[in-house]
Chains A and B, each alone.
Chain A
Amino acid sequence: DTEVTQTPKHLVMGMTNKKSLKCEQHMGHRAMYWYKQKAKKPPELMFVYSYEKLSINESVPSRFSPECPNSSLLNLHLHALQPEDSALYLCASSGVLAGTYNEQFFGPGTRLTVL
């Protein structure tokens, strides 16, 4: 199973709402990533988890709160977002062995619209 799943596919939320994005993989990968992608731009890294611990936070505002409850699951909790946070949110996973080819497998993304 070389699949990363993301739910929901689409999400519309108001600025006062609290919502969560979910990402799941069953490839035994111990690194998981959140990327944000605005229209016509490349993906930008938000967070990296390695062995369920946060290893990289790219100075993301605290209204985005990641969580990695186990090695297969990655969540992104959203609270008090702004309209400019509307984007495609991509989750990815990969192996963690150094010095080897570690392809990142991407999920289909969640298209988020903040009203």
Chain B
Amino acid sequence: AQKITQTQPGMFVQEKEAVTLDCTYDTSDQSYGLFWYKQPSSGEMIFLIYQGSYDEQNATEGRYSLNFQKARKSANLVISASQLGDSAMYFCAMREETSGNTPLVFGKGTRLSVIA
């Protein structure tokens, strides 16, 4: 069974600073994908970044980067140059990729607050 652990219920960061949101995972699958989603108070789940288990390089998407350490089973999200609009709930999720339509397994989330 797959499991995602996010140990930080809440985080604060000063505007323009960088912040790291922690995520560890557990799986027996060899082929899996790791995802980060942002959920503002309006409720929509916004995809941020993806890392495949066989990807050797860390994923980056604009101000978002994923620090993937496979041996440690961690997939931390780094947000650089935080903005007030980054205040939201952030979910780490994973899915096995040996079949096509497996659902996502989510962590409990981290609420990020950006302070001016």
Contacts and interface: CB of A to CB of B under 8 A. Distances in A.
A48 B35 CA distance: 19
A100 interface: yes
Interface residues of A, number: 31
Contact of B103 (A33, A41, A106, A107): A33
Nearest to B106: A42
A88 B103 CA distance: 18
B43 to A, nearest CB: 5
Given A42-B91, A103-B47, A55 B101 contact: yes
Contacts of B101: 30-31, 48, 50, 55, 94, 96, 102
B45 A43 contact: yes
A105 B103 contact: no
A48 B47 CA distance: 19
B100 A42 contact: no
Contacts of B104: 43, 45, 92, 104
A109 B98 contact: no
Interface residues of B, number: 25
Greatest chain A CB density within 10 A among B33, B97, B101 is at B101
A98 B98 CA distance: 5
Interface of B: 31, 33, 35, 37, 42-47, 50, 52, 91, 95, 97-101, 103-104, 106-109
Given A30-B101, A103-B47, 4 more contacts: A98-B97, A99-B31, A100-B100, A106-B37
Interface of A: 30-31, 33, 41-43, 45, 48, 50, 55-56, 88, 90, 92, 94-109, 111
21 contacts: A31-B101, A41-B109, A42-B106, A43-B106, A55-B101, A95-B100, A96-B101, A98-B98, A98-B100, A99-B97, A99-B98, A101-B50, A101-B52, A102-B95, A102-B97, A102-B100, A102-B101, A106-B46, A108-B43, A109-B43, A111-B43
